[in-house]
C-alpha cells in the first residue's frame, strides 16, 4: 500500500522544495527570486563563486 508522496526535492518525482542545507547543517528556504538573488550575491561576496553556473539560469527548467 505504498502511496505517492507529492513533495520532493527531486523534480522528476514531485514538487521541488527550495530548501538547501549547508555543509554545517544550516538549512535555508528561499521564498522568492529576489531572496535567491540576494543569497547568491552574499555567497559571491564571501568568495563562493561557481564559474560553471551561467548568468541566465531558467528557474523553471531542470538542470
37 domain residue, yes or no: yes
pLDDT at 32 (0 to 100): 86
Cα separations in angstroms, 49 against 10, 39, 43, 46: 24, 12, 7, 8
Number of compact structural domains in the chain: 1
Q: What is the mean pLDDT of the chain?
A: 76
Q: Is residue 5 part of a domain?
A: no
Percent of all residues in the chain with a pLDDT value above 90, rounded to a whole number: 3
In a domain, 45, yes or no: yes
**For residue 25, is it within any domain?**
yes
pTM for the full predicted model: 0.55
Of 33 and 55, the one with more pLDDT: 33
C-alpha cell at 17: 522544495
Give the domain extent around 26.
Answer: 19-49
Report which of 53, 23, 12 is spatially closest to residue 36, judged by C-alpha positions. Answer: 53
CA distances from 25 to 3, 7, 19, 32 (A): 30, 21, 12, 22
Amino acid at each position: 500500500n505504498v502511496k505517492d508522496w507529492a513533495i520532493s526535492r527531486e523534480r522528476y518525482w514531485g514538487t521541488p522544495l527550495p530548501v538547501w542545507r549547508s555543509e554545517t547543517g544550516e538549512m535555508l528556504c528561499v521564498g522568492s527570486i529576489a531572496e535567491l538573488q540576494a543569497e547568491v550575491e552574499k555567497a559571491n561576496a564571501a568568495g563562493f563563486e561557481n564559474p560553471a553556473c551561467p548568468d541566465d539560469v531558467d528557474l523553471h527548467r531542470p538542470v
